Structure 1
């Protein structure tokens, strides 16, 4: 495992650029990316897990529902209910800048043997990616929902992530692949709904929240949770995942992407506290052509990553200088430099 400090942006940008131009591009985003608009989950997973371990299922359900309701409340400020300059506006602009940079990198990619696709895996339930993409006219974001079904509702179809989009010239019929970002939300989303036939369809986040009195009724809490098509925040995610084909497919997509030749994974805002994703990533790193680049928020976070991946030579941890942090603005500044004036730099 290697480490490098983000004290010279251009030097780090050129290093990562060499990786990008010859690799299949993947990203893994966690809750740190949506700060400060959405506060980190903190100890909510451990608290829910403690309730489950003590067979306190009703308490665990209340804790999980409250956590999800807070995200849904925050969604009410998107896309046009926020105030310029507030935390939501700041976070949304971070996502917009990131997607714009990735779209440009894919568009400028010169290696015709690699697709102009990038996979963004995220454990976040929020909709910052979707809303940010709606502000970018050239951005094609594939969220996995089949919009050709019609009035029955947009059904989730993970096989759509394997599709590639091409445009042909009007005269000579030359083909050019259109840059596409696949958004793969491995724990579901606040906009996902369970249809009567148990299929996942696209909807709107719930606006109705239970009162304190209603939360004293276990049946009402269970019913409210059943409407949300999300993997609940607890350490037994995989047990729930096995019960639902969609979630299993999404974890398998992540595993398969990491097993491909010359795959590159950038990790941001994700601590690898999720043991299942950590295990999948470690197994995938046995692929000698895989490369994982982790952006550590702090030097303390970098030390944690060094412990978790100490046995893997194909992991690079980018860490801040002493007393500094790597947040979304720093990440965007880095990716904004990749590919810029590349020809001049190569000379």
Structure 2
């Protein structure tokens, strides 16, 4: 069964356990909507609510709910990218910047030359906090899966195989190669900055985060058309509005599965409920790998109990419980990682 550690009772044990796995494992992180609080509300039961409408045959209301959910995220992303002075957005962005800085430092100082200086950042979030945070850290290299080597008119095309690239730098006076830390950002549900081109390829579009404009919400046709422009996996049982999105979705899920099947793979989960059945099933299958390890940082003790139930058959799962009445928010999560990283994880 899954092991549970209570952070408030055993902070040093939590730190040592986290450090031991990070220093010896192939690093993977899984982030959900909880990571973007308080700027963006937790997704909650949005998928169940939309599914209930679809099952009842009320497609128009299901589409409207999905549209309003995505537009709320887009509005927050507009504030983020134009740097509106909103305390909740600034606080959330600071958390992401802090995390990327700490992780980059951990990878840079890795002592095991057999392990890549890479970490995979899997997220189901559509928002652009990871991308904006990386732009604040010039020394951090983030690979978002877009091929920028041969673009025409900045039409960067998404290519999942880019995640297999490793980057090296040679010295000026010798040919010695040094691998640079790379953070692979893998957005399994798509992104507000993705756009579909003729339903044949996904292109990066830094204008696509914008709001959809004056859509008449009482017009089901307009709502459906606005949804179709977004290159995202919709939060419902139908999920796919196109064959292209279905293919990309399963390509990225396969990448998630393959990453967990490597020797000594570590998956650290934060802000994710494992409510997505596809990801939950893949994670459980991947944990059949006896060298794989999953560490889940639970927001509350209630969440910790839920994770224990979901992974009750898996011995290679550790659930970090904050303790009764306490919380593990993003800043707390970063403080634990900071103890693992060099120089206290200060920005480079």
2:253 matched residue in structure 1: 251
CA distance in 1, matches of 2:283, 2:199: 33
Within 1, Cα distance between the matches of 2:193 and 2:331? 27
What CA distance in whole angstroms lies between the structure 2 residues aligned with 1:108 and 1:208? 41
Structure 2 CA distance for aligned equivalents of residues 210 and 51 of structure 1: 25
Q: Secondary structure at the match of 1:3?
A: strand
2:307 is equivalent to residue 280 of structure 1: no
Mapping 1:126-137, distance limit 5 Å: 126-137=127-138
Aligned residue for 2:155, secondary structure, equals coil
Q: Tell me, in whole angstroms, the C-alpha distance in 1 between the residues paired with 2:240 and 2:302.
A: 28
Residue correspondence of structure 1 range 136-175 to structure 2 within 5 A: 136-148=137-149, 149-151=151-153, 153-175=155-177
CA contact (8 A) 1:144 1:159 kept: yes
- Say if 1:231 and 1:241, in contact at 8 Å, map to a contact too: no
**1:345 counterpart residue number:** none
Q: Note if contact 1:32-1:269 (Cα within 8 Å) is conserved in structure 2.
A: yes
Aligned twin of 1:123: 124
Q: 1:151-300 alignment to 2 at 5 Å?
A: 151=153, 153-203=155-205, 204-209=207-212, 211=214, 214-237=216-239, 244-300=246-302
Question: In the alignment, is the contact (CA less than 8 A) between 1:268 and 1:296 conserved in 2?
Answer: yes
What is the CA–CA distance in structure 2 between the aligned matches of 1:299 and 1:269, rounded to whole Å? 14
Return the offset for 1:254: 0.5
Aligned to 2:94, the other structure's residue is in SS state helix
8 Å CA contact 1:35, 1:91 repeated in 2: yes
Does structure 2 retain, via aligned residues, the 8 Å contact 1:140–1:181? Answer: yes
1:60 is paired with a residue whose SS is: helix
Query: Residues 54-69 of structure 1 correspond to what in structure 2 (within 5 A)?
Result: 54-69=56-71
Distance across 1 between alignment mates of 2:209 and 2:179: 37
Q: CA deviation at 1:241?
A: 7.6
Post-superposition Cα deviations, 1:284-340, rounded to whole Å, max 9, x if no partner, equal 110000000000011100000000001000000011122110000100100111044
Consecutive unaligned residues in structure 1, runs of 5 or more: 343-347
Counterpart in 2 of 1:109?
Answer: 110
Whether contact under 8 Å (2:201, 2:244) holds in the other structure is no
Residues 142-165 of structure 1: CA deviation (Å, up to 9, x unaligned): 000111222261100010000000
SS at match of 1:266: strand
Q: Structure 1: how far apart are the matches of 2:256 and 2:339?
A: 27
SS across alignment from 1:118: strand
Q: CA RMSD in A?
A: 1.8
| C-alpha distance in 2 between matches for 1:229 and 1:83 | 28
3-state SS of 2:116 partner = coil
CA gap of 1:243–1:284, structure 2 versus 1, over 3 A, is same
Aligned pair partner of 1:49 in 29, 48, 51: 51
Provide the aligned length of Structure 1 versus Structure 2.
340
8 Å CA contact 1:10, 1:334 repeated in 2: no
Q: Which TM-score applies when normalising by structure 2? A: 0.93
Aligned to 1:336: 338
Q: 2:74 aligns with which of 69, 72, 75?
A: 72
Q: Distance in 2 between matches of 1:173 and 1:258?
A: 33
Contact conserved, 1:169 with 1:175, CA < 8 A, in 2?
yes
Determine the structure 1 residue equivalent to 2:315: 313
Superposition deviation, residue 219 in structure 1: 1.7
Deviation at 1:238, TM superposition (A): 7.4
Report the counterpart of residue 92 of structure 2 in structure 1.
91
